Amino acid sequence: MKFSSKLFYWYQKNKRDLPWRETKDPYKIWISEVILQQTRVNQGLPYYIKFLEKYPSLNELSLAKEKEVLLLWQGLGYYKRAINLLESAKKIAKTNNGVFPNTFKEILKIKGVGDYTASAVSSICFDEKEVAVDGNVFRFISRLFGIKRDITLKSTFVFFKKKLKLLIENSNPGDFNQALMEFGALQCLPNKPLCHSCIFKLECKAYLMNDIKSYPQKKVKKFKKERFFNYIVVSSNKKLLFRKRVGNDIWKNLYEFPLIEGKCSNLSQIVNKKEFNVLTNKMKKPPRFLQVVNVNHLLTHQILKIKFWIFNSEGCLDNTLSINEIIDLPKPAVIYDFINKHLKS
């Protein structure tokens, strides 16, 4: 039995029942693929359902406000994805009458869309013979054929695309791509692949050579950058200072407490910071320190060592918000968790 037929047979028996597999609407497939970037299916599924309940079509998304979209995205991370979705929906609605592009090359022009997403959408929705190569596919195919190439290199990506295009043969390209990804996600697992029940074990080079752990080949990861965030949590009359994050750093356009970045070990270092004095110089009295809460927050390429310095201030402060107002603003998950644990009564 040829590769594609064998894979498709496995897929029909083992595929998960997922809502984006019940449609060929390019808008819905686009949303699912963007949500599932850097996100596990069980984490992304509730977000997909909520997103489509609120914005069931591209035109409805195009009318949304950024703050609303980011709030819906809260906790999912990689917030730039949500910003790109909204910007792209507005552009498609304006320049293409809300009609989603129907070719790989045109889909690839959408902001935030790379080869993988464009391949997935064009193959599933428009039957284009494009292959979607993600981490699951790299792992499965490199083991099966014993391909020892560094998957971080562009040349390796091109090599895999060419090889997989030959393997599609006359199969439905959308089903072929979903079967590939599903096989990597359910069978050819990263650490404990289910080799003994694998339909390809008698052909798999890595299995036959007892060398599963060597695949896929990848350059050693760089050390994560370590950053120190000091959030100044000042409460006055049950209201708090809270502001929008600007610039092109992480969490762009989300909301947070006033931030002082840099290593600060004790209270005296904080209160002597210029930023702290600017923040508190209009207060009638110096704010009263209550406590500090330490949190480590891991991102893909960064480790954030966060301290929430909690103060109480007498009198009224400008630009403050109530807890209820803050809850309605999009914010990083680490701030959302801190508020729920330490500030909500």
The catalytic site residues sit at 33
Q: How far apart are alpha carbons 30 and 33 in whole angstroms? A: 5
What is the phi-psi region of residue 250: left when phi exceeds 0, alpha when psi lies from -120 to 50, beta otherwise?
beta
Q: How far apart are alpha carbons 5 and 19 in whole angstroms? A: 24
Provide the 3-class DSSP secondary structure of residue 54.
Answer: helix
Q: How far apart are alpha carbons 338 and 140 in whole angstroms? A: 40
Token readout for 48 is: 């997909």
Max CA pair span of the chain: 81
Scanning the structure block, which residue is given the tokens 């299916």?
41
Q: How far apart are alpha carbons 81 and 252 in whole angstroms? A: 11
Q: How far apart are alpha carbons 156 and 148 in whole angstroms? A: 10
> Is the Cβ–Cβ distance between 307 and 44 less than 8 Å?
no
Residue 154 phi/psi, 5° resolution? -60, -40
Number of H helices, E strands in the chain: 16, 8
Q: How far apart are alpha carbons 48 and 10 in whole angstroms? A: 26
The pairing of strands 302-312 and 288-298 is antiparallel
Q: How far apart are alpha carbons 324 and 327 in whole angstroms? A: 5
Q: How far apart are alpha carbons 129 and 120 in whole angstroms? A: 10
Provide the 3-class DSSP secondary structure of residue 127.
Answer: coil
